[in-house]
Structure formats: structure tokens, C-alpha cells
Structure 1
Amino acid sequence: MDLSSGKRTPFTLARGHMHCRWNELRRASYSNFVSAVRGFRAHLAGAHTEIKVSGFPDDRRLVPHLDAEATAHRQAMDRAFTEVQMIASAEETVAAAGMLHRIAFRVATARGLYDRVLSERYSNQLWLAERAFIDAARTELGYGCSP
């Protein structure tokens, strides 16, 4: 609608269509990111996954060294995270995605340290971070938080 007259014009219809299109792109990007994180987590939980952990050169952090298949899952997660960073319109969504990404990587480290057993603490943090990301994305898209 034209704000001054209340009439629909081609310009306001096109602008509304673009807004809907951007929301569709965001929703697809956010779904892809959650799917990539879940794929990474599922692979880490597998008995065949080999992860070694070593110290980072600064001696403050641990770094997981992933097998080829886990590396492919991690790269898919990283790509999806970058897409979220580029397309999100709310800083809260980007922050929640960053936390989910970091915790997923920490799960890999915990998996490497505890030999085939996902640390329950990090696993629970991963699900909480996923929920926080989904809630932030839903809020950004105008759906409100999930129940």
C-alpha cells in the first residue's frame, strides 16, 4: 500500500514481494545451517569416527583433528555458518549461530578426548544452542519463539 493514500501500487507490491523473497532465503539458509550442524554431530557420534586432539600452539586451547568424512561435515557446517552470517538481518541471529557453531566444534574436541563417548555436558549445550538459534531465527523472521 502507498503509505500516503493507503492504495496498493506496483512499487509497494514489488517491495512486499522482495521482503517475502528475502525471508524465504533466510529461512532456507537457517534450515541448512541447522541441518549441517546436526549432520556434523551425528557423524561425531558414530563409532567409526576417528578424532585426535592436540594442543594449539598457544597452549591455551585444544584442537580436534578430524578424519576425512568428519572434515567434510565440518566444511559443510562452516559454509552454512558463513551463509547465515551474510544473510541474517538481526545481530541476535548471527550471535546465536556463532554460539551453535562454537559448541559443535567443542563437541568434536570432547569426542576426541573421551574416546567414542560424546560428553553429555557438551551434547546438552549443543541442543540448547540449537534451540537458541532457532528461536532467534524465528523471531527475526516474524514467527515468534517456538514452544
Structure 2
Amino acid sequence: MAVLLGVVLGGWLTIRNQERQWHRDHEREWRDIRLSTYNEFASAYRQYVAFAVEPSALISAVPHPQAPGELMPFFDEAGRPYKEKLESTWIALRIVCQSEQTVGTGLQILTAARQVAAARANHGASDIPAELFQQLWAAQDAFIAAARVELGVAELRRLDGVE
């Protein structure tokens, strides 16, 4: 009877350990997926903005039908891949995010990047209002902080001493 109890207990412990290992592997895999997706999103919006501020970029803008006071940018054929990449990485980000905070800060980046592009439609490449870039960088900082929390990475101290 003692031997049988030992076999059952040993089997149960093995199954429990395997299940814990599977959960750790699963969490690690999702963390890697999130990190990769966040990196792709950051790359896509940076490329989008870089294209928007190019002097040769052809961008037009119309009033947004659902957001009063905002403009919707439209790119020519050269800019369309940047827009499509940003939109597709935004959807991927929404799929893998764990927290509403990360989704919200990602949306702030998306909106700020679009407003930079929309402003470029009415301004020269060097005449885009600085406050639009300040909004974009603030959204970027908020996104990084939210993503770090979601990924379980320690909080990052700001270089300018402001917290």
C-alpha cells in the first residue's frame, strides 16, 4: 500500500511540475510575442512619421468624420505602405495587449502620428507645429511605461530627472 501511495504521489508531483513548466513556457512565449509586436508597432509609427516629414511626401488631409477638430491624412502611392504597416501593426498590438493601459497609450501614439501627418498636408516639412511632436513623444513615453509594466520589466527612470 505504501508503494502504491508513493507511485500515485510521485505521478501527481510529476504532472504538477509539468503543468507549471508548461505555464511558464506559455507565459514566456506570449511575452516574446508581445515584445516583438510592440517593437514592430514602434518601428511602423517611426517610419510613418519619418515619411510624413520628408519634404517630398505628398499628403492630403480632410476633417475626421467622427472626431471634431482632427484631420485624417491621406498618402500618395509612396506613402501608402507606411500607412498600411502602421494600421496592421496597430491591429496586431490590440490582439496581443494584456492591459487597457497599453492599448490606450498605443492609440495615443497612433492618433499623434496621424496628426503629425495631417499637419504635414498643410505645412512644410520643417513647419509642422512642435506641440504635435511633443504629444507624440509624450505618448511614446507613456506607451513604453505601460509596455514595460505589462512585460514585467522594472520601471525606467527618466533621463531628464522628471518622474
Give the TM-score taking structure 2 as reference length: 0.79
Q: Does the CA-based 8 Å contact 2:72-2:114 persist in structure 1?
A: no
One-letter identity of the residue aligned with 2:62: S
- Of residues 95-104 and 112-121 in structure 1, the stretch that sits farther from structure 2 once superposed is 112-121
Q: Does the CA-based 8 Å contact 2:53-2:117 persist in structure 1?
A: no
- Structure 2 CA distance for aligned equivalents of residues 8 and 32 of structure 1: 36
Counterpart pick for 1:121 among 117, 126, 131: 131
Q: Report sequence identity in percent.
A: 25
Q: Does the CA-based 8 Å contact 1:44-1:108 persist in structure 2?
A: yes
Structure 1 unaligned residues grouped into runs of 5+: none
Residue 133 in structure 1 maps to residue 143 in structure 2: yes
Task: Sort the Cα spacing of 1:144 and 1:123 in 2 relative to 1 into closer, same or farther, 3 A.
Answer: same
The structure with more radius of gyration: 2
Give the alignment's Cα RMSD to 1 decimal: 2.1
Task: Sort the Cα spacing of 1:58 and 1:15 in 2 relative to 1 into closer, same or farther, 3 A.
Answer: closer
Count the aligned residue pairs.
Answer: 142
Q: Does the CA-based 8 Å contact 1:103-1:125 persist in structure 2?
A: yes
Give the TM-score taking structure 1 as reference length: 0.87
Counterpart pick for 1:77 among 59, 74, 86: 86
Counterpart pick for 1:13 among 1, 10, 21: 21
